[in-house]
Amino acid sequence: MTQEELDAMMNGEIEDIDGFEEVNLEEIEEEPASSDDLEETALPLGYSDDTSHHWPLPATDENKMVHQLDDVTKEGEEKASEIFDIIEAISNDLMEKESNAQNALEVITSNVELFSKLSEKFPDVEAFKTQLEKNEAAQEDMNQTLEALQNSGDSIMSVMDIMQYQDIHRQKIERVINVMRALSKYMSTLFEGKIEDEKRVSSAQHIAGDTHNDLASTDDIEALLAQFGN
């Protein structure tokens, strides 16, 4: 009842209180529940954000342990393969550039030898001395470039060696998965019976000494079994 309706009733503008309440009850019953209300009613008794860590997670694909570990190993292997492909392409490029640098260095070295002889034979020709100095500087730069390429290649090989540990981690996770699956099969075998469930005698619903008559319906039991089956 809103404040306006309460004021109208107090002022005598509403006389049929019973009819008023009946109409409002019908409106309340017909009003659909919001999604927030449905979520609140679906939560277990005593569940809250503060106590959520005490409750088991539902058996969904997002929470199944073996399912999640399988996804981790699969995605990890795929990403590792992509990384190896990228590293291999970089390594091939470095090897190609190193070969090109070696060829260029050979040409520069021959130029240094040539201009050295020319400078010694014609000491008065300034152009020979200038070209000798330029080629010697280029030779030093090329040597540094080759050293950097070789160091980069060595670093790439180190990265590939480190990436091998990813495969070891995958094997460790798979070993955990195998142990969990073996335990799951063992528990299933441990709880097996000789009599099929369909042939079992129905259990008593009430036993002497029970303090309440709250019973789980057949639908509740089937839903619970279906959840464990998933």
Q: Is the pLDDT of residue 130 over 50?
A: yes
Q: Coil, strand, or helix at residue 43?
A: coil
The pLDDT score that the predictor gives to residue 94 is: 92
Q: What angle do CA 151, 133, 105 make, to 5 degrees?
A: 35
The pLDDT score that the predictor gives to residue 205 is: 60
pLDDT in tens, 19-45: 444 444 444 444 454 544 444 445 555
Report how far residue 156's alpha carbon sits from residue 99's, in angstroms, rounded to the nearest whole number.
17
Bigger pLDDT: 227 or 102? Answer: 102
Report how far residue 76's alpha carbon sits from residue 82's, in angstroms, rounded to the nearest whole number.
10
Backbone conformation region of residue 189, classed left if phi is above 0, alpha if psi is from -120 to 50, else beta: alpha
Q: Is the pLDDT of residue 46 over 70?
A: no
Tokens 């070295």 correspond to 109
Cut 0.95: pTM above it: no
The pLDDT score that the predictor gives to residue 118 is: 92
The pLDDT score that the predictor gives to residue 42 is: 54
List Cα–Cα distances, 203 to 66, 197, 199, in angstroms: 34, 12, 12
139 contacts: CB under 8 Å, gap ≥ 6: 105, 108, 109, 112
Does residue 79 contact residue 99 with C-beta atoms inside 8 Å? no
Report the range of poorest mean pLDDT among 155-169, 170-184, 204-218: 204-218
145 contacts: CB under 8 Å, gap ≥ 6: 101
